[in-house]
Amino acid sequence: MTRRLALLLIGAAGPAFAQDHSHHQMPAADPHAGHVMPPPAADPHAGHVMPSADPYAGHGAAPSGPAIPKGPPPAAATSGAVHAADAVFGAETMAAARAALYKETGGMTVNKTIIDRLETGLGQGHETYLWDVQGWIGRDIDKFWWKTEGEGAFGGALESAEVQALWSRAIGPFFDLQAGVRYDIRPEPDRAHAVIGIQGLSPYKFEVDAAAFISTKGDVTARIEAEYDQRLTQRLILQPRLEVEFSAQDIPEYGIGAGLSAIEAGARLGYEITPRMRPYIGVEWHGKIGDTADYARIAGEDTDTLRWLVGVRAWF
């Protein structure tokens, strides 16, 4: 009896316990319940056609364009005015402007005077003086050149002096061809010469002046001068210089023998106060060679001399 009562009590309590347990296991409410979700965004590439792969990808060069046409330009390219600016500013105004431009960029007449050497020499018991001056006037291609040089002893007679008048024409970027006349004032007798030579700047920046002379007596001589400016500092300049003289025959009245007749070699150390002014000191050896030396010995003259120099180089 007792057992049956226990079973009845358990059976009655089971549904109630089951109902209470199921109450605590209910799932949480959906937080988005009642909300309307937006439709998915449209594809930005929808309707677009994607390009095909680059057929030249990985290749070293892009394909060449259309072939460049060959042949003369079309007639329309040369049908207008020769100077297009004439149509804007007028032909007369532009003609004057072009003439001024030509003159200012190479057509103008200019001039220059170069005092290459103006110096005093000290040596062997006497003092000497020397000048070597040249200049020109003209344009880029054609110029008139003049040159003069001479030397002597202080308190004595003028030993030598000459003047040249030359037409000069550019034969390249660095050299001029020169032709003209030379007149010797000393030594006596006075004599005139025809001149032909070249002057300019050789490779490695050597200034060269080479000329041949034919006198009114038919004597043929030549002279070559070369000098080089070596900058030791921005203002200190060393200038080696060499001069060589030749003669095709003996000229007894001038004391010149055939062949190599004389050499001058020296160096001048100058200080460039301005680009146009350079005082200097230096030393120079002058020697007479071959038959010319024999003429000097017969006349009782020295065949070689060494001189210390003080001078100035300038241009304007």
Place 83 in a pLDDT band, splitting at 50, 70 and 90. confident
pLDDT, tens digit, for every residue of 117-157?
A: 999 999 877 899 999 999 999 988 999 999 999 999 998 88
Q: State residue 209 phi and psi, 5-degree precision.
A: -135, 105
pLDDT at 87: 85
pLDDT at 19: 44
pLDDT, tens digit, for every residue of 230-289?
A: 999 999 999 999 999 999 999 998 999 999 999 999 999 999 999 999 999 999 999 999
Res 94 pLDDT > 90: yes
CB-based burial label for 283 (10 Å; 0-12, 13-18, 19+): middle
pLDDT at 223: 98
How far is residue 288's CA from residue 17's CA, in Å, rounded to a whole number?
Answer: 148
* Percent of the chain whose predicted confidence (pLDDT) is above 90: 62
pLDDT, tens digit, for every residue of 14-27?
A: 444 344 444 444 44
pLDDT, tens digit, for every residue of 158-194?
A: 999 999 999 999 999 999 999 999 999 988 888 999 9
Q: Report the CATH architecture of 110-315.
A: Beta Barrel (2.40)
Structure tokens at 104: 């200012």
pLDDT, tens digit, for every residue of 30-72?
A: 555 555 555 555 555 555 555 555 555 555 555 567 788 788 8
DSSP assigned state of 217: T
Instruction: Map residue 248 onto helix, strand or coil.
Output: coil
How is the chain split into domains, by residue range? 110-315
* 138, β-bridge pairs: 110, 143
Instruction: Map residue 146 onto helix, strand or coil.
Output: strand
Q: Go through the chain and tell me how many residues it has.
A: 316
